[in-house]
Amino acid sequence: MTASNANAPGRSSPTGKGRSLYRTVFACGTGTALEYYDFFIYGTAASLVFNKLFFPEVSPLAGTLLSLATFAVAFVVRPLGGALFGQLGDRIGRKRMLFLTMLLMGGATLAIGLLPTFEQIGLMAPIFLVIARLLQGLALGGEQAGASVMAIESTPVERRGFVGALVMSGGAWGMLLSNGVFFVLAFLPDPQFMSWGWRVPFLLSSLLVGISLFVRYRLEEAEDFEVVADLEAVRKTPLKDAVTQYGGRMLLVILGMIGIGVNFYILSVYSISYATTVLDLSKSTILSAIIITTIFAVFLVPVFGALTDRVGRKPVFLASNAIFMIVPFLWFAFLHTREYSLILVGFILMIMGYSSGLSAYSTFFALSFPTSVRLSASAVAISAGAVAGGSVAPFVATWLQAVTGGWHAIAAYMSIAAAVSLIAGLFIRELPRGGTVQVTDEDAAAIESSTPKVTS
């Protein structure tokens, strides 16, 4: 199959002129930050609280494994969320889809903050916890790819890497905010933290959701999508078309996600449990290390994003996985010194790999698909890759530590995952001219056969 570079008559490739590009970037970036804030506060609470409040009748190890398993279940439905919201985004537009994902994530997070514990309602407590977690995962399945696609499709070609990275840096802001809130709450006495303190981050989210929904409601539609809509090339079954026509490319994206997923979620979620239980470090020590290195990520991600506009997304993506093949061994070694300065060095090395990968992969993967199926293909593939990588990473790491009694097997697991992604990345390529290809042969055939345009 080939692709044409046709654009709508009288329209050039997206430049952002006449539109508030800054508003789009702000809305997508802050929304991404909030989505990831909601996601990360769950991961932190799963490591520190949920094993005691929702699974109190099992051993500490089993409670931790069950708690981390509830963290993982959200990833299971992320491909479903990617399929649902990705197809909606390709049919009715990116803007409406992003509004829905924010509403769903905010509602689920608020529900978690209000949940009664096992002591209060028994077995129903963990059941309700899992349901709320599943809704979080459903929302994030559409949000992660949707925000990036919305932003890059409204951006000049020569700045798409930077803008895509700027939006994805919202994930680092969300992680920073979530750990910052838990860091402050860590100074509460344990009885107060366990009774009400852990709920504060979840309840705080509802205030931020209202602001984000207001900003997203005022957005204009992405220019790339409008080009396809003007050409009456909106697909009736974008997900089906994506799988049948670009299934091999989607599989490569899934494999490409494994490295950053495994390494990041062990870094951000499992490290808290490992440091406090195995190394007997305080919550404030490990959370402060994560906060400091996340500040680095906030600034490094856009810097690496600008670099991708100069050297390309693929080289930066490959370099990220090369880092993750080596650095986990140093990170664990530094953790075991229990010296705070060396712990920070290890986290900074890991955040270099994370920042470079985060800056590249969303734009790299999205621009490897044509506009008419871009959101469906990238949302499902990225979400499925997150399942294969991040979903089970904290669980697998906990199991490996319990079985082997050491960290070397965990570091090897992180390294092998990165190697898989590096190999997959070698075979992924962007469409010509920064993804500005608007109409494929299949789209053109749909136009010629007078396929009805799907309107909002």
Residues 390-429 pLDDT 10s: 778 888 998 999 999 999 999 999 999 999 999 999 999 9
Q: What is the mean pLDDT of residues 168-173?
A: 85
Whole-angstrom Cα distance, residue 5 to residue 438? 6
Residue 446 pLDDT: 45
Identity of the residue numbered 14: P
DSSP structure string for 66-102 = HHHHHHHHHHHHHHHHHHHHHHHHHHH-HHHHHHHHH
Whole-angstrom Cα distance, residue 364 to residue 437? 14
Structural domains of the chain, with CATH = 17-432 (1.20.1250.20)
Kindly state the tokens that stand for 11.
């329209």
Whole-angstrom Cα distance, residue 276 to residue 44? 12
Residue 245 pLDDT: 92
Residue 440 pLDDT: 52
Question: Over the chain, what is the mean pLDDT?
Answer: 83
Cα dihedral sign for 198, 200, 201, 206? positive
156 has a pLDDT exceeding 60: yes
**pTM, whole model, 2 decimals?**
0.79
Whole-angstrom Cα distance, residue 187 to residue 332? 26
Q: What are the φ/ψ torsions at residue 132 (nearest 5 degrees)? A: -65, -40
CA dist list (Å): 328 to 259, 299, 385, 415: 12, 22, 20, 7
* Number of alpha helices (DSSP H) and beta strands (DSSP E) in the chain: 21, 2
Q: What are the φ/ψ torsions at residue 154 (nearest 5 degrees)? A: -110, 15
18 has a pLDDT exceeding 70: no
Residue 1 pLDDT: 38
Torsion of CA 243, 249, 250, 255, to 10 degrees: 150
Task: Kindly tell me the burial class for residue 68, based on how many C-beta atoms sit within 10 Å of its own C-beta (0-12, 13-18, 19 or more).
Answer: buried
In the structure, what pLDDT confidence band is assigned to residue 433 with cuts at 50, 70 and 90?
low
Whole-angstrom Cα distance, residue 146 to residue 155? 15
Closest CA to 235 of 373, 98, 367, 370: 373
DSSP annotation of 15: -
Residue scoring higher pLDDT (193 or 453): 193
Closest CA to 316 of 383, 263, 267, 362: 362
**Measured between alpha carbons, how far apart are the two ends of the chain, in Å?**
29
In the structure, what pLDDT confidence band is assigned to residue 24 with cuts at 50, 70 and 90?
confident
In the structure, what pLDDT confidence band is assigned to residue 181 with cuts at 50, 70 and 90?
confident
Cα dihedral sign for 357, 282, 72, 205? negative
442 has a pLDDT exceeding 60: no
Contacts of 53 (CB under 8 A, 6+ apart): 117, 118, 119, 125, 194, 198
Residue in this structure with the two tokens 């990165």, named with its chain if needed = 418
Residue scoring higher pLDDT (10 or 200): 200
Residue 456 pLDDT: 36
For residue 222, the SS3 value is: coil
What is the chain's length?
456
